[in-house]
Amino acid sequence: MKIRQFFNKFVRDERGVTALEYAILAGIIVAAVVSAVGLLSTGLSTGFSNLASTITSATS
């Protein structure tokens, strides 16, 4: 009987579910930040290349 009570208590316990939800949410946020940084770095690289080309052609 104690095993059945333990199992029922374990199934109804939702504390671990909350921690899992936070972990999933943190993973989604990290993925979004990594994607944004990747897109931003590409744009910045292109912008600096254009700026360097403009400066080089203006001094020539």
* Sequence ranges of the domains in the chain: 1-59
pLDDT tens-digit series, residues 1-28: 688 898 888 878 877 778 888 999 999 9
pLDDT tens-digit series, residues 29-51: 999 999 999 888 888 889 899 99
Using a cut of 0.75, tell me whether the model's pTM lies above it.
Answer: no
User: What is the C-alpha separation between 3 and 32, in angstroms, rounded?
Assistant: 43
Structure-token pair, residue 25: 């949410």
Tell me 50's DSSP state: H
User: What is the C-alpha separation between 35 and 40, in angstroms, rounded?
Assistant: 9
